[in-house]
Each structure stands twice: as C-alpha cells, then as structure tokens.
C-alpha cells in the first residue's frame, strides 16, 4: 500500500499550517507515522489521495451517523445552498431544528445554536455563572470540553483542588476558578465543595469520549445530581460527543439523571460545523436579548447547517430502532476483537454505548483518566498502524472513541474482526 501522496501532502501542509494539521490529533503523533490525507468519503468508506480505501470507524469524530454522503442530508444541503450560504438573520430552519431537539430531550425547553462544541460549552458555563451569580466551576480530569481558557487545566499541587493552566497562553487567573475532581470518584467531588462555596456548575461528559470511551457510573451521576441540588449548583451534561450517538433522547434517558444544562454538537449538524446548548426556560431566559448574559455569533444557526441537522435528526427520529441495531454491531465488533486479542495473549477492555464503541489494550477495567493512562500506548500504535494497512481506519489516539454508522454492515464488522485476528497474531509474534 503506497501512501506517497499523503506523505507529499503532509510535507507541503507543514510549511503552511502549524504541524501540518488544523486539529492536533490529526497529526498521528500518538500512533506514529504520517496522517492519511483524505480525498473522498462514500458510505462506510474513505478514499485517500493515493487511492487507498478504508472502512471508516471515525466518521468525522461522530457526526456521520448515516455514513458519508447520505442522500437525504446531501440533498438538504444542496437545496439550502441554492438559497444562499448565510444571512446573519433568522430562518425558519432554526426554529424547526430547535423544535426537533427539544422534542427529544426532556431537560431542554429552549436551545441556542452556535458553531462548535467549544463555543457551546463556553456559553453554557457563562450562563451557569450568570444564573447562579457564582464564579467557580468543577470539571473532571480526562473530560474534554473544548479549548476555551478556563477548561485547559491540569491538577494543582499539594492539597488544593484548583487547577493550573495546561497550555502556554492561558493566564493562571483564567483557571483559578476551575476545580478538578476525579471521574467516577464522588469523594473527590465532595472535597471540591469543601474547598469552595462558590461553585456555579459541575460539567461532565456523562459518557466520556476523550479518554477513550469511559461512561460515568449511574450511581456517580445520581450523587452529582444530589450534591448540586444541596448546594444550588447547576449540573451540565456535555453531550457534544454522546448526544444522539449513545441515545436519541440523551444520557438522561439512560441514567434517569436530569441535568440542568446540556451541550450538543456533532450529529445535530449532520456533518456540518455546529454546537448547541439548552436548558429549562428559567435558565435559558437569562440569555441576551431576553436576559443579561451575553452570547452571540454571526454564523450561529446558519441555514446550511440547520438544513443538514434537520435532515439527519428527522431521519434518526423516524428510525429510532436504529440505535439498537448499531449497538449490536458495535458490541459484536469489540467482543469479536477482544476474543481475537485474548487468543494471542493480549488483554482488551471493551465498552459500547449506542453507536459508540471503545477499547483499551489493557488487563484491568478503565474507570477514569489515570486508568486510561496506564494502557499500553505502544501496543495501540502497532495495532492502529497494522489495521490501517489492512484497510480499517480507527481513531488515531487511544484516548478517542470509535463510531458505527448505518453504512457499516454486519459483513464489514466480520471483516474487521478477521483483520484484527491477523494483526494481533502479527503483534504477538513480534
């Protein structure tokens, strides 16, 4: 398999774009080698600039639940483009998509669209602070909520729970109001509330997708709800990744835990850039122009994205049984790979939630970021590289989640398992 075209494209990109990519994970740094440059996507497959074809288990990091170039979504986009790319003014499509999302989430009465998941989370946190009149926020190590300054934190030193900046360019003053707790550890959360009586919100990925796929324990989420209620703190579920992927009605429908705010993205744009945040009316009415909390965006709710999202969610709502079908395929995939890994003396931990799947090449269960960091990154890099040569495109980081689309058939899943058997055997033989 030749990748000379991708190598040449990467060399050119590095002279013009920092690191040659516009989002760091795409550089393949954690798996070695050079990134594959994509020329086309169709259904379950990607084709690179060298003409190599791959089964795509990344699906643009989640939004393509119906695969590449879904006919209904593509047609909706083309029709919208014919009327104009952007107006900076209201359109009916915004209201139609808002109505559809609200109908599927019990915790959302009103919603505001933005252009990215980062923007959605940033805005939700501002709204939580404005609503409560408090400054501090609590997040969990290993949960990713975008790259806004107050969320780029690492654990502080000593006994304090307040975070320090994890990136140059982020002033310490911007993160001094961010507290860190350990995922699935309620005692670490209680300590944060001992250290601060000024916590506006707890924000969590209820199904973490950026330390691998690590769902929060149901009991843990119920405890978070209880702590928030006792302290007048808002609970934010960041479902930018899991929304409409783990369940079409949100994690609240799986766990019975109702958040105060929800952030969304990915699927609700049908592959176009989008984000959103929603809550009950009492909270959302604090947003400008109704309330004092300011938030704005020129391209928020742009008509092309709204058309794509409306087509995707309409199709998903009409075919709600798809989630169980996709989960069955995701489960078969990771269980099959685990069996092949075990046959070669390689441990594997697996998880699925709806159309999301994750696996760790590890002998022990992964419950938090520290557990995830104990996994064998070199072994994962070998697996990733070899599966790519076999024609299967997995996320290029062991800390990312995989996705099943409707275009990935049972036959493709079985072919993937067979390929993994060859790869695991090759790895075990050295």
What does the domain layout of the chain look like in residue ranges? 4-69+321-428, 71-318
Nearest CA among 421, 57, 128 for reference residue 278? 128
Tell me which architecture the domain covering 4-69+321-428 has in CATH.
Answer: Alpha-Beta Complex (3.90)
Residue 18: what pLDDT? 94
Q: Is 169 exposed, middle or buried (0-12, 13-18, 19+ CB in 10 A)?
A: exposed
CA separation, residue 9 to residues 19, 34, 92, 386, 392 (Å): 12, 10, 41, 22, 21
Q: What is the dihedral of CA 77, 81, 85, 87, to 10 degrees?
A: -100
Distance CA 265, CA 116 (A): 7
Average pLDDT of every residue of the chain: 94
Residue 159: what pLDDT? 34
For the entire predicted model, the pTM comes to: 0.94
**Residue 144 annotated among the catalytic residues of the structure:** yes
327-357 pLDDT tens trace: 999 999 999 999 999 999 999 999 999 999 9
Diameter over CA atoms, the chain: 65
Catalytic residue among 57, 139, 260, 266: 266
Residue 430: what pLDDT? 75
Which residues, including other chains, have CB under 8 Å from residue 69's CB and lie 6 or more apart?
41, 42, 43
Structure tokens at 96: 């139609």
Catalytic residue among 70, 238, 260, 371: 238
291-334 pLDDT tens trace: 999 999 999 999 999 999 999 999 999 998 999 999 999 999 99
Structure tokens at 149: 């300054």
**């024609």: which residue's tokens?**
391
Q: Is the CB of residue 58 less than 8 Å from the CB of residue 28?
A: no
160, pLDDT greater than 50: no
**In this prediction, what percent of the chain has a pLDDT beyond 70?**
97
Classify domain 71-318 by CATH number. Answer: 3.40.640.10
Catalytic residue among 131, 144, 183, 399: 144
Structure tokens at 224: 């978070």
225-259 pLDDT tens trace: 999 999 999 999 999 999 999 999 999 999 999 99
Which residues, including other chains, have CB under 8 Å from residue 61's CB and lie 6 or more apart?
241, 266, 395, 400, 403
Distance CA 252, CA 114 (A): 22
Distance CA 65, CA 188 (A): 36
Give the helix/strand (H/E) hosting 313: helix 303-318
CA separation, residue 16 to residues 10, 30, 49, 67, 168 (Å): 10, 22, 19, 31, 22
Phi, psi for residue 53 in degrees, rounded to 5: -115, 135
Could you please report the per-residue DSSP string of 360-402? ESSSS---SHHHHHTS-HHHHHHHHHHHHHHTEE--SSTTS-E
Nearest CA among 220, 170, 178 for reference residue 195? 178
Distance CA 262, CA 176 (A): 24
């Amino acid at each position: 398999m030749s990748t000379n075209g991708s190598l040449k494209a990467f060399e050119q990109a590095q002279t013009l774009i920092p690191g040659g990519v516009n989002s760091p994970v795409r550089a393949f740094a954690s798996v070695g080698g050079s990134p594959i440059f994509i020329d086309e996507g169709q259904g379950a497959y990607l084709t690179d600039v060298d003409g190599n074809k791959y089964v795509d288990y990344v699906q643009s990091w989640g939004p393509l639940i119906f695969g590449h170039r879904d006919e209904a979504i593509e047609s909706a986009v083309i029709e919208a483009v014919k009327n104009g790319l952007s107006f900076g003014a209201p359109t009916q499509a915004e209201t139609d998509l808002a109505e559809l999302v609200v109908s599927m989430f019990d915790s959302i009465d009103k919603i505001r669209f933005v252009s990215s998941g980062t923007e959605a989370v940033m805005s939700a946190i501002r709204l939580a602070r404005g609503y409560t009149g408090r400054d501090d926020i609590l997040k969990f190590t290993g949960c990713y909520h975008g790259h806004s300054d107050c969320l780029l934190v690492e654990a502080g030193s000593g006994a304090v729970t307040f975070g320090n900046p994890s990136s140059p360019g982020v002033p310490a003053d911007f993160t001094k109001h961010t507290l860190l707790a350990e995922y699935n550890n309620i005692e670490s959360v209680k300590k944060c509330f001992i250290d601060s009586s000024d916590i506006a919100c707890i924000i969590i990925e209820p199904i973490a997708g950026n330390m691998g796929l690590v769902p929060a324990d149901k009991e843990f989420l119920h405890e978070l709800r209880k702590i928030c209620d006792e302290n007048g703190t808002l609970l934010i579920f960041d479902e930018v990744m899991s929304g409409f992927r783990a369940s079409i009605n949100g994690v609240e429908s799986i766990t019975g835990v109702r958040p105060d705010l929800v952030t969304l993205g990915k699927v609700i744009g049908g592959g176009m850039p989008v984000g959103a945040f929603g809550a009950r009316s009492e909270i959302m009415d604090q947003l400008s122009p109704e309330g004092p909390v300011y938030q704005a965006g020129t391209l928020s709710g742009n008509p092309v994205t709204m058309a794509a999202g409306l087509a995707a969610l309409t199709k998903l709502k009409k075919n709600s049984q798809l989630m169980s079908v996709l989960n069955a395929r995701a489960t078969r995939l990771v269980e099959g790979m685990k069996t092949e890994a075990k046959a070669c003396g390689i441990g594997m931990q697996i998880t699925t939630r709806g159309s999301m799947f994750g696996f760790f090449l590890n002998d022990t269960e992964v419950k938090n970021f520290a557990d995830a960091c104990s996994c064998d990154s070199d072994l994962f890099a070998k697996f990733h590289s070899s599966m790519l040569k076999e024609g299967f495109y997995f996320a290029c980081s062991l800390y990312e989640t995989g996705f099943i689309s409707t275009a990935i058939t049972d036959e493709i899943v079985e072919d993937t398992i067979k390929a993994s058997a060859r790869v695991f055997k090759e790895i075990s033989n050295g």
